[in-house]
Chain A
């Protein structure tokens, strides 16, 4: 599309040809629109409409009766006031922050470690790398169900192993105690997120020229120095992207927590997403559910802006789009 338009406007030979074809210019524009149209329709239908509808619902008292009769009175900021005064709000915000920070930092560190490890060539490295992708390919509901079984207090593998190694005296109630449930959910989510970090960081590492390492080694730089002075600085744009995308993904994690604990026990793993679901589809208070969703959208939007900024900067520093 871009190439077509630049050609017609910038090529010197264009005007006479356009004149010869008469209405051909309109046709060309139509062609351009035909390419944009599906995307535009898609965005309008599946993105703009739901989001704007959700924003509206956040200001409405939307109950079950609204579904049948259609009317839902506007109540201004009532939903938000009620949310903020709800004791679950603080828990949900804190849990969301802990869940995101915990998942993200460990996913990144482990992913980076593995990416550096796989940079060396050794037998079966390709196979191993492929196997490490598995957690990412599995549906979250499946990995959640498996983790539920691993964490089971009485029969779970994790407790059996820890007991066998004499690391604990009594089985740990991973998912059935308010004390451990969030940690358990974070660990499960880290496992799921490592491959994403590994793949992106690994491909980032491929772009680092090997000659730099050779030169550094000749200058007497040790492995840690090479990592700090070469790998990290050159990887910085990729790291920014990985962290930003990871943040946006993790903020909206829903399935994992839903399968593991459903937000419980006693709201111990309630995040903004699970709370929004509970408000909307368990308590049928759709106005408040939408309001929680809006809070989440705003948070994600802030980080999305950072993300866009960071890729703009990185594109600029590399001298324009490639």
Chain B
């Protein structure tokens, strides 16, 4: 701390020196270096500089003290999520506030863009300042749980009873339940009703029908189908329904079923039924193509409903086509799960109360209706399908949906990345599906 003491010393000197200084001093500037670069005015007064320095020193000292202990009001629940778009943000806030009011708590909500959520969580974990209630994308639950920062929900009396089993699986890490969500989502096939009617087509149920419809409707700048094959989770999540319903598995990527699924997927691009640009499209780009009439069908989630309604597209939604009519679609479950990180017992308890309240039937129904998600309770979902007919295909699919991380746990992230790379290599490069999947399987084997 020599520097700070020296600083104060220098200030004191500069102060006392002011009265004693002889006026002639100003005539010998060579030996008289002005303290701290302050240029003396005609009266030899350097007061302004000195004020600034003293101010700075005071600031430094106080800043050093202020950064210390800061006690937190346990009745304020800090919540973090990634619902940044205006409507979703408002709806989520409303449910949170309603639940907090019931227990006389206050909510301090933070929302960050999707791709910044995990880096923020890791940063907070380093400083041990995680939020009290956290909503993460369900495959990321494995990553957060791996840090050891989460608490089991059973200790607050919350259980997955009555929820779809795949949802409970998605919220579990090493067999223990850490996360639950009021609602989930899945993928379905959207089709342009005008185009289908004009061509005299029915919405497809099988791969062959989907392919035939795409062939009929591909014309000029309009492609038959749009999907996302970007090199991230979005890309593998869009391919997984096709992988799974063909009998492929994430831990058996070289099996003939998996290879044939990728052949079908990349064949759509090869034959020009889908644009080659799918490798650069995220799911929002896919919505844009479909809404602007440049794609007759698209694979997308229920969250695109509101954007499509706004655009005025006449569309229909059906479950994702499968290889044969007697196979049920197996979509990966999407959506975010609420988790309670380790904080203090009192704060954990409060956060769990808010989460529990959000999982109640009425609140669940309200939020999923606003948000175009599927309620995660079986009985609630049944009623919801009756109330909101547009969501029916999604409700049907969630019943047979799968948790992405069920077999792989924390290894899922790396395997999913390898799978997305394999899909890209097949679509964008000259790699055969076998070769691409073999490479992905090798990565999957070494995943830790």
Contacts and interface: CB of A to CB of B under 8 A. Distances in A.
A154 B231 contact: no
Interface stretch (A26-34, A188-196, A206-214, A240-248): A26-34
Given A27-B35, A264-B424, A265-B429, A64 B277 contact: no
28 contacts: A8-B31, A11-B30, A27-B35, A30-B6, A31-B33, A33-B6, A34-B36, A35-B37, A63-B146, A64-B122, A67-B126, A148-B280, A154-B275, A154-B294, A173-B276, A173-B277, A173-B428, A176-B275, A176-B280, A261-B280, A264-B231, A265-B231, A265-B279, A265-B424, A278-B417, A282-B413, A283-B414, A284-B143
Given A264-B428, A265-B425, 4 more contacts: A30-B10, A267-B421, A268-B428, A284-B118
B428 A178 contact: yes
A168 interface: no
Instruction: Determine which residue in A7, A262, A263 has the highest number of CB atoms from chain B within 10 A of its CB, and name it.
Output: A262
Interface string B1-32: 00100100010010000000000000000110
A69 interface: yes
A255 interface: no
Contacts of B427: 176, 265
B148 interface: yes
A65 B417 contact: no
Contacts, number: 131
Main secondary structure of the interface of B (DSSP, over half): helix
Contact of B33 (A13, A28, A264): A28
A319 B447 CA distance: 59
B230 A4 contact: no
A68 B424 contact: no
Contacts of A17: 31
Interface in A6-59: 7-8, 11, 13-14, 17, 23, 27-28, 30-31, 33-35, 37
Interface of A: 4, 7-8, 11, 13-14, 17, 23, 27-28, 30-31, 33-35, 37, 63-65, 67-70, 87, 148, 152-155, 173, 175-179, 181, 261-268, 278, 281-284
B280 A265 contact: yes
Given A64-B143, A65-B146, A284-B413, A266 B122 contact: no
A268 B279 CA distance: 12
A153 B231 CA distance: 18
B388 interface: no
A155 B119 CA distance: 35
B152 to A, nearest CB: 16
Nearest to A286: B122
Given A31-B33, A67-B126, A154-B277, A177 B429 contact: yes
